[in-house]
Every structure is written in structure tokens, then in C-alpha cells.
Amino acid sequence: MTEKDPVKTLGAALTAKLHIDPRECPIDIRMEGDAIVVEGTVERVAQKKRALFIAMGIKGVSGVIDRLRVRPAKHMTDDEIKDHLYRALSEEPTLDPSLIEAEITGGIVDLEGQVGSLSHKRLCGVLAWWIPGSVEVINSLEVVPAEEDSPEEVNEALRIVLDKDRLVDASCILTKTKDWVVTLEGTARSEAERTAVEDDAWYIWGVNDVKNNIKVVK
């Protein structure tokens, strides 16, 4: 992107590429030095993640300050979100909730502590996103002992998540991850299920893009 004004460039891209209606979802875009600030609320995590990647590619922008939030499916207090999250973590036999600390402020979930694998780190992040009141998830969990990451590991984590998602028939979904980009194939029973699969992929920590080729077969 070579537009001289990064603010106008990003604003136009949000409307043209991501179909974000500025009247329904007003996004505040401004420069702070050479960094671009993106602040507001969008409907889906895909819009949030794609907006940030577009911002990173704008000429003259040295950094992106992310203040985009996803509209929650349900209003919940921070304490309610924390209760739901720790309940979800405790129901996972492979996780030790005593090693995980969650700070929730205004619906923003900040995960800290340690887990035993990258798959566990990614699963914790998705469980946090699944809480209806969450508007953002910051996954700062440390993997102990450290593991080398790879697209194959991302794909493995996604398969685990899809198997746990009650809204999805994972047996009908094919996934492939290359260069941190997830490609989804297969069939879904409804547009809502198709969207749920794509959202799950975007919730995975480390995913840079999602190509949704799932077909709806009623």
C-alpha cells in the first residue's frame, strides 16, 4: 500500500475489504508518531485480526496499537467472565488451572502463568474467547519446557479445538495450515456452523489468515 495518508488508507480498507459499516461500527484511526492506533468495536474476530494485518502493511507505519474489541455475544461482568473461564479450565483434564492466572478488565481477558505445551496455550486462549462476555484475549501464557512452534502444531491445536466445539461437526471439516495460514475445507450444516469453524481458527494464537472454503449443505 502506497497511499500517503495511512489513516485514510486503513479507513478505506476497513470498508472495502472487511465490509465494516462505519455508522454501525465506528472505528477511530489515528497516528501516534509512526504508529497507527486502531480503536473501536467490530462484530467478529476475523475483522479484528484482518484489520490489524492490513494496518501492519501500510507504508509509513512502523507499528500498530491494537485497541479493537469484538462485540460480546452477551453482557457479562468481569467476575462472571472469570468464573466461567476457570470452570472451563478446570474441566480440561490436561490443564492445571492453579498455574494459570486470568486478569479480566472490561471484558478483556489477560492470560498469564504457564502451561505444558503450545497446544495447551492455544486451547486456553480459545476457551477464553468462547466466554460470551469476552471482547479481547491477550495470551501471555509461557510454555514450560519451551517448544519449537510450527504450522503443523497450529493445525493440531485447531483439530483439538474443533473436536471440543459443540457447535461444530469436526468430522466434516478438513484443515490445512501452511505459512501460518489456515485453509478450511469440507461441509457445514448451516452458515452459523461455517462461521463458527472460521472463528475457531482465528481464535488460535499464531494464525495470520484463514481461508474458508467450507460449503453449506443443508
- pLDDT tens for the chain, 218 residues long, are 445 799 999 999 999 999 999 888 999 999 999 999 999 999 999 999 999 999 999 998 999 999 999 999 999 999 999 999 999 999 999 999 999 999 999 999 999 999 999 999 999 999 999 999 999 999 999 999 999 999 999 999 999 999 999 999 999 999 999 999 999 999 999 999 999 999 999 999 999 999 999 999 98
Q: Are 195 and 168 in contact (CB under 8 A)?
A: no
What does DSSP say about strands 35-42 and 27-32: parallel, antiparallel, or unpaired? antiparallel
Is the bond preceding residue 145 a cis peptide, omega within 30 degrees? Answer: yes
pTM, full prediction: 0.93
Q: Which fold has domain 6-70?
A: Alpha-Beta Plaits (3.30.70)
- Could you give the angle at which helices 118-130 and 151-164 cross, rounded to 10 degrees? 40
Q: Are 66 and 92 in contact (CB under 8 A)?
A: no
Q: Which value, in Å, is the radius of gyration of the alpha carbons in the chain?
A: 18
Looking at the domain that runs over 78-143, which CATH code has it been given? 3.30.1340
Domain boundaries, the chain: 6-70, 78-143, 151-216
- Fold agreement (78-143, 151-216): yes
Looking at the domain that runs over 151-216, which CATH code has it been given? 3.30.1340.30
